[in-house]
Structure 1
Amino acid sequence: MISEQFIVGIDNTDGAGCEGTGALTMALSAEVASAGWGEPLGVTRHQLWDSSKVSSDNGNYCYALTIQTTRSILDVEDEVVDFVRAHAAKDADPGVAIMSRHSDMPHILAFGRRAQTELMKLEWAQTFADEANVSLRTLGNKRDGAVGALAATGLRGGGADGVFIHLPAIREIEGVLRAGEIRERTTVETILDEEGEPLDRDDRVETNGYLRPRLEGGKPVIHTRRTTDDRHLWVVVDRRPSREPEGD
């Protein structure tokens, strides 16, 4: 059977008595792995237009999960939609988008980039999805999650936006480790210094207990800078955002 990758975008699942969309997407990733019907390839968070015109408590974020599987897109859609329905807040308006190898990724990437700089309309999301052969499901009365879900698939597919909030071991690593150990414990092969050069395996890295690789060139990348008081120690550049959603 042919195995392919699907990019699942999810948005607006949070509400009263429910964890955020990031937590739900990570739970979906765990469910895919435990159920055995696919291999999850990391959850990413993407920043959309952060404006007073957009209702949001913790910044306007959407989330994406890439899944490698032999299942058809219809099967994947059924699994994802059932999971989101079961775990989203009762008062939420979730959106789910699924991009396949048959989709027009650049068209949806353009939509995602626009969603980072302007307020996109729900009808535009459906038009873009139809034109690009992307499955777009709205599971609430207001359909508010459609824009973010579709934008997430495009931004993840473009491979140059957002950060990974879930990859093997990145949420468990703390303190100072050698670059080689980080590579061995995670799926992150690329750890760069401030000049863009890869660290040697024995170079020491201060993680500060927070490791969220950027999505660059379609892969996770950790950026570091050399410390001023210890020429043999690098520190991870990206720190926890002040408005990071709980659980991310």
Structure 2
Amino acid sequence: MGLLTEERPSVTLREITEATGLAKTTVLRIVQTLEQNGMLWATDGGYMAGPGLWRWAHLARFSWELPPETRKVIRDLAAELRETVNLYMVRGVHRVVVAQQESPQPLRHVVHVGDELPLWMGAASKILLQSASEDQLARVAATSPYGPSHVRRLQEWIDEASHNGWAVSHGERDQGLSAVAVPIRGRSGSVVAALSLSGPSVRFTDEAVTRFAGELTRAAQHVSERGFDHPYAAAM
């Protein structure tokens, strides 16, 4: 299913066979099963996403979408601060984008809801890892280019973010990109999500970062006090 994109809305049996390395008979059997269950739809140009996926998409949106009040907080932040607002949560050794509101400015940073980004760098990671165990930190460090020794640097970032109440990054993941992040806490007080603001580094001066951190903190406290409701949070 990963072969289907907006740029390539349909694929042929030959393309699926070449991409998967499976035998043509195996691919045909799998495709027929998916078609019978509405996951794929046969066209003259190949196979495209089927109507069954539309139902699953609606179910996923209903299940994972944030409450209206939280979405409004994110929209208001993006409108006021004019940078992209993201909400991240942890999944294994990655951070997942669970909500976003794009900056209204032409030059902006954009990731997509559902994207998984590495946890070994970035402002949001420094916030999310505050509740991590030693074992999780070791697993995150092992995914970095620096290997196990990166644990020490991660711990330094975590301690600094915990002391300040917020974290910042400049060019850690992408050159010229900066971000500021603050924690959203669950009922137990542990960090369950990171609310972040990201955009071109040229706009993230020291003065701007201080202002961004203050506004993000107020918004995150508002969300935390009213109870952060999300399936990921319930599992943490």
TM-based fold match above 0.5:
no
Instruction: State TM-score, norm by structure 2.
Output: 0.24
Q: Which has the larger radius of gyration?
A: 2
Q: More helix by proportion, 1 or 2?
A: 2
Instruction: State TM-score, norm by structure 1.
Output: 0.23
**Larger relative contact order, structure 1 or 2 (CA cutoff 8 Å, min sep 6):** 1
